[in-house]
Structure 1
C-alpha cells in the first residue's frame, strides 16, 4: 500500500506544477485534500459533538486510503468517480441526520463540483450536480413532512431555502465550468513552457558537462559516467581503472610564460590524450592541472601499460617547441571495485596515489593502497594537532648542556623542543618534518626563539653570566625573509646580548636560495649573533659555505663521535674536522659524547666543546638550572 508520504508528494508535485498532466498525481492530490478534511471533521466532532460522526469521519479516511491503494493509470476515472460520489453521499447523510439544509456538511458540494470539473468530464459532473440539486429538495421535503426535525428557528421555508441553494449551485457550477476551461488552457501553456524549460536545461547541462578550454568532458560528466560504467563493469568482472594525471610544473609555466601559453599547452595536451580514447577508455579534464581517465581493463598489468602510455604522451620533447621546455607529471591509479565503487572514493584514492608519486620522482605513477591513505590521514591529523598545540601552548624547551672539555664547565646549552601530547613527550624528529611541510614551523620556530631568549636572559640575571643558548633553525624559516625581524624582536624584548644567541643551521640550507639565505644571515651576523653548522660532515661539506655564511662554529655529527673509539676511519674524520676548524679559526663542538673516554680522546685531539649524555640528556628548564648549580658548586 502506498505510504502517506507518497500522498503528500503527490500534492506537492501538483502545487509545484511537476508532472501536472498526470492523472494519477491529480487524483492523489485530491485524495490528500479530502483526507485532511475528514480528519479535521473527526477532531471537531470529538471536541464539540460528543464524539458523534467521529467514526463516520474516520471511515471516510479509510475509504479514501483504500481508493488510493486501488489507484493506477488505468483506474483513475473509476477512483475519481467513487471518491466524489462517496464524499457527496457523506455530506447529504450528515445533513439528513443533523441540521438539514442548514448543515455545514452541504458546504462540501462546491468542493466536489470543483474537483469534478478538474478531474472529470460531463459524464461525471452532470450526474453529481443533478444529485446535489435533488438532495436539496429531498431534504426540504423531509423537513416539511417532519422526517427531519426542524432545529433551526426561521420564518424562511425549507422549500425556499432549497430553491435558493439550487440556484446558487447552478450558477456556481457554470462559473466553475468557465473557470475550468481557463485553467485547462493555462495548464496546457504551463506544460508547453515546462517542456521548453526542460529542453533548455538539457542544453545547458550539456555545456556544463564539458570543459570550455579543452572541449573534454569535465568532473561532473566523469562522475555520471563512473556510475554507468560501474553498473556495466559489475556484470563482466573486469577492472575499472580511474587514473588521475597531475601536471607538476604547470603553475610555474603559467607564472613565467603567461596564461595564454599555458592554455595553449593544455589544449595541445588534451588533443594528445584524446588519442588514447577507445571503446574502453574515456579522457576527462577534471581540473586546471588534472586530467582523468576511465579505463576498463582485464587486469592490473594493462593499467601499468596504459599509465606508461600516458606518461610518454605527456612528456614528449616537443611539448613546448618554442621554449624547449618539457612538462612533468605524476599519476595515481585507483581500481574499482577494490578501491571504491563511486566517483568520490575513486577520485580521492587516486589523489592519494598521486601524492605518493610526487614524493617518489617526476613522471612516475603509483597504485593506491590503504597505507597511503593511512599515512596521509596521520599527517593531516598531526597538522591539526600541531595547530592545537600552538594555540594551547603544549610545547616545552629542553636544554642539553654544552661543556668546555678542558675545564669540564657548562658554557651554554642547546634548546630542543618537545611536545606534550596526551600525557607523553613527542620528540622533534616525529613532528618537525610535518611542521616544515605544512608551514607551521614558522609559528613553532618563532615560539622557540622567544622562549630560548627569555630563558637565557633569566640565566644571566641569576648569575650565570656568559651562558649561551643555541637554537636550531629550519630552512623553511628563511623563506619568508622576515626571520631577522623575529629574532631581533625577541632579543630586544628580553634584553639579551646577541652574542649569547647561537643559531644552528644545516648544510642542506645552502643548496637552494643561497643568496636569499646569505642576505638574512649577514644581517643577523652583523648584530653579533653566532652561527653554527650543525651535523657537519654528513652533508655536502662545501668549505666555501663556512666563510660565505659567517659560520663561527662546527658541530661534529654524533654519527662520527659515538663509535669513534672502535672505528679508526671515524676517528680520522673527527680529527680532520677538528684540525680544519682550528685552521679556519672556528670553534668546534662534538655531539653524542656518551662516556669519559670519548671526552678525553676528543680533548686530546684538540676538540674544545662537547655535548652528550655523558654530562646530561636534554632536560627541562628547572632541571637544567639545578645542573648548572651542581657544576658551579663542583668548580
Structure 2
C-alpha cells in the first residue's frame, strides 16, 4: 500500500494541500484537515486527533496546550487508537492519535505509511509553529515577555492605518525606585521581579492594547482613552509580592509617567515623540510624578534640549563665567571665604543658573561644568597669589551626579595641582543626597578629600530626607543650612517651630565641632538673630550679591563691610 500511495494522484494532492504556505497554526490545521480527507479512505482512517503540549519557556512565556480533531468519518464507531509522539524542538510533545475504521486491523505496511504521513504533518505543524515563535521572538522583549519597541511601532502603524489611533492614550513610564529591589534581592531575582512586573501590567490591558519595554525599567503603553485613568491609577500603586527560600517581600511600585492623548497623529514617530516629551516633563517635576503632554510642555522641552545641544560649544567658547559670592564672619563682618557660582553669557545675555543647571543635571553634563568652574577658580587664585595678594578659601559646587563618577578625588586633586596652589584654598561643596545608600559613597569622597587637605561642606542642609543620618555618617567640615530654615522677621504660623529647629541645628553642628553657614540671609533682622544663636558665617544679599571676578577683587581689598 505504501508504494501505491506514494505514486498515486491522491498522495500528490495530499502533499500539495499539506505544504501550502500558511502563517498561523490555525491555517495549517485547516490544510491538514483537507489533506487527510484526500487519503483517509486509502488509509482506512476512522478518526485522527492531536494534542500539543509545550512547556513554559522564554519563547513561550505561557507555554502552549492545544487539542484538535484532524479527521472524522462521522460513523461513530472506531477501532483502538494508535498513538505517535513527536518531540518539539523547544521541548514538549505533539501526539497524534489514529483511530481505524471499525473492525480494521492495520498491516505493518499500512502502519509504516501512516507514520510517514504523520511525520510529514508534524513537520509542517512544526515549521509553522517555529515560524510563529520566531516572529514572536523578533517582536518580544525576551527579558520580560512583553512587546519590544518594534512590535509597539507595528501596533501604532496598524491603528494609524485603520484610523483608530485617536482612540488611544500613550503612557511612557519608568518604574519608581526599582533599584531598591536589587538592594533587597540579588540581581537575578531582580530580573524575575521585573518580568513579573511587566506581566502584571500586560494583564491589565485588553487585547487591543499593548505594553512594550524600551529598556531597563522603562516601558511604553497604548491604552484606550476611556481606560486611561484606571490604568494610570494602577501604575501608580502596583503591588507585587516576591518570595525566595531566604526572604520574602511585598513591593509597592509607583512610576514616573508621561501621558499623551493622540489626536492629530500622522506618523508612528509622532506617538513616541509625544510620549517622550510628556515623560521628560514628568521627570522634571520629580521622581514618581505624572505629566500630561501639551504644546507648552513641548516648547519647554525643546528649549531644554537646545540648552543641552549648545552646552559643549559654549563651554569651549568660555561663555560660562564664574561669579563669586563672599562668605562673611558673623562676628567681625570680614570676608572669610567665598562661593564660586556660574553664569552663562550667551549671545550678549546673562543666563541665570536656574535656566540651565537643572537641564544639565538631568542630562549629566553638569559634571563637566563643575570641573570647568573648579579650574577657573584655581586660575583666579593662582593669579592673586602671583600678584602677592591675599585670597580666601573658595568653595566650588559639585553635583550629586559626581557620586557616580570613578576617581573623583584624584581628578579634583589633579585640577588643583595643575595650578600649583595649596589645597587649603579650595573647598568642595556637595549637595545633600536623597538616597541613604549614597552616604557611604559620599563619606569615602569626603575622607579622600580630607586626606588631601581639601575641606568639604554640604549645601542645602535640611532639605533632604535623612539630614541627621548624613552628618552622622559623613565627616564634613562645614554645614550650610538652607535658607528655608532661617526664621523670617515677620510673624507667621510656625515661626516658633522654625526658631527651635534652627537653634537646635546650630547647636548640634557646633557640638560636633563643625562650622555653620547660613545662606540666603537678606535682612539685618535675620543677621542679628544669627549672631544671637551662634551661627558662624553668613552668605547673602545682606552683605553681597554674587559678583564677577573684577568686582570680587575690589571687595577682597575692602575686606570689612557693614551689612546693607
TM range (shorter): 0.5 to 0.7
Pick the structure with more helix per residue: 1
For the Cα contact (< 8 Å) 1:536–1:556, is it kept in 2? yes
Alpha-carbon separation, structure 2, partners of 1:215 and 1:538? 41
Q: Secondary structure at the match of 1:481?
A: coil
Q: Secondary structure at the match of 2:421?
A: coil
CA shift for structure 1 position 623: 1.0
CA shift for structure 1 position 601: 4.7
CA shift for structure 1 position 379: 2.4
**Of 447, 451, 454, the match for 2:376:** 451
Bigger relative contact order, structure 1 or 2 (CA pairs below 8 A, ≥6 apart): 2
**Residue deviations 1:230-251 (CA, integer Å, cap 9, x gap):** 45446xx972445556666889
Alpha-carbon separation, structure 1, partners of 2:163 and 2:260? 15
CA shift for structure 1 position 610: 2.8
Change beyond 3 A, Cα 1:329–1:457: same
- Count of residue pairs brought into register by the alignment: 425
Change beyond 3 A, Cα 1:403–1:489: same
Alpha-carbon separation, structure 2, partners of 1:363 and 1:577? 30
Aligned to 1:352: 277
Unaligned runs of at least 5 residues, structure 1: 1-201
Please report the TM-score for the alignment, with normalisation by the length of structure 2: 0.62
Alpha-carbon separation, structure 2, partners of 1:252 and 1:563? 39
**Residue deviations 1:24-59 (CA, integer Å, cap 9, x gap):** xxxxxxxxxxxxxxxxxxxxxxxxxxxxxxxxxxxx
**Of 229, 241, 249, the match for 2:159:** 229
Q: How does 1:499-578 map to 2 (within 5 A)?
A: 499-508=424-433, 511-539=436-464, 542-543=467-468, 545-546=470-471, 548-561=473-486, 563-564=488-489, 569=496, 570-578=498-506
Q: How does 1:7-406 map to 2 (within 5 A)?
A: 210-211=139-140, 213=142, 219-220=149-150, 222-233=152-163, 239-242=167-170, 262=191, 266=195, 269=198, 273=202, 276-278=205-207, 281-283=208-210, 285=212, 287=214, 297=224, 300-306=225-231, 316-317=240-241, 324=248, 328=253, 330=255, 332-338=258-264, 340-356=265-281, 367-406=292-331
CA shift for structure 1 position 276: 4.2
Change beyond 3 A, Cα 1:525–1:422: same
Alpha-carbon separation, structure 1, partners of 2:159 and 2:322? 56
Comparing 458-467 with 208-217, greater Cα deviation is found at 208-217
Change beyond 3 A, Cα 1:357–1:575: closer
Alpha-carbon separation, structure 2, partners of 1:321 and 1:361? 36
**Of 619, 622, 625, the match for 2:550:** 622
Change beyond 3 A, Cα 1:509–1:277: closer
Aligned to 1:602: 530
Alignment partner of 1:583 is 2:511: yes
Aligned to 2:394: 469
Alpha-carbon separation, structure 2, partners of 1:272 and 1:597? 56
**Of 463, 469, 490, the match for 2:415:** 490
Q: Secondary structure at the match of 1:508?
A: coil
**Residue deviations 1:261-290 (CA, integer Å, cap 9, x gap):** 948975995698378444xx1436565567
Alpha-carbon separation, structure 2, partners of 1:349 and 1:390? 31
Comparing 452-461 with 469-478, greater Cα deviation is found at 452-461
Q: Secondary structure at the match of 2:375?
A: helix
**Residue deviations 1:97-140 (CA, integer Å, cap 9, x gap):** xxxxxxxxxxxxxxxxxxxxxxxxxxxxxxxxxxxxxxxxxxxx
CA shift for structure 1 position 621: 0.8
Aligned to 1:67: none
Please report the TM-score for the alignment, with normalisation by the length of structure 1: 0.56
Cα RMSD of the aligned pairs, angstroms, is 4.4
Aligned to 2:343: 418
Alpha-carbon separation, structure 2, partners of 1:554 and 1:212? 48
Change beyond 3 A, Cα 1:272–1:305: closer
Q: Secondary structure at the match of 2:338?
A: strand
Q: Which has the larger radius of gyration?
A: 1
Alpha-carbon separation, structure 2, partners of 1:454 and 1:589? 25
Q: Secondary structure at the match of 2:522?
A: coil
CA shift for structure 1 position 541: 7.0
CA shift for structure 1 position 440: 0.9
Aligned to 1:612: 540
Change beyond 3 A, Cα 1:437–1:287: closer
Comparing 566-575 with 407-416, greater Cα deviation is found at 566-575
Alpha-carbon separation, structure 1, partners of 2:541 and 2:290? 45
Change beyond 3 A, Cα 1:261–1:376: same
CA shift for structure 1 position 547: 5.7
Comparing 396-405 with 558-567, greater Cα deviation is found at 558-567
Alpha-carbon separation, structure 2, partners of 1:429 and 1:481? 27
Change beyond 3 A, Cα 1:265–1:589: closer
CA shift for structure 1 position 453: 2.0
For the Cα contact (< 8 Å) 2:543–2:561, is it kept in 1? no
Change beyond 3 A, Cα 1:383–1:319: farther
CA shift for structure 1 position 445: 0.9
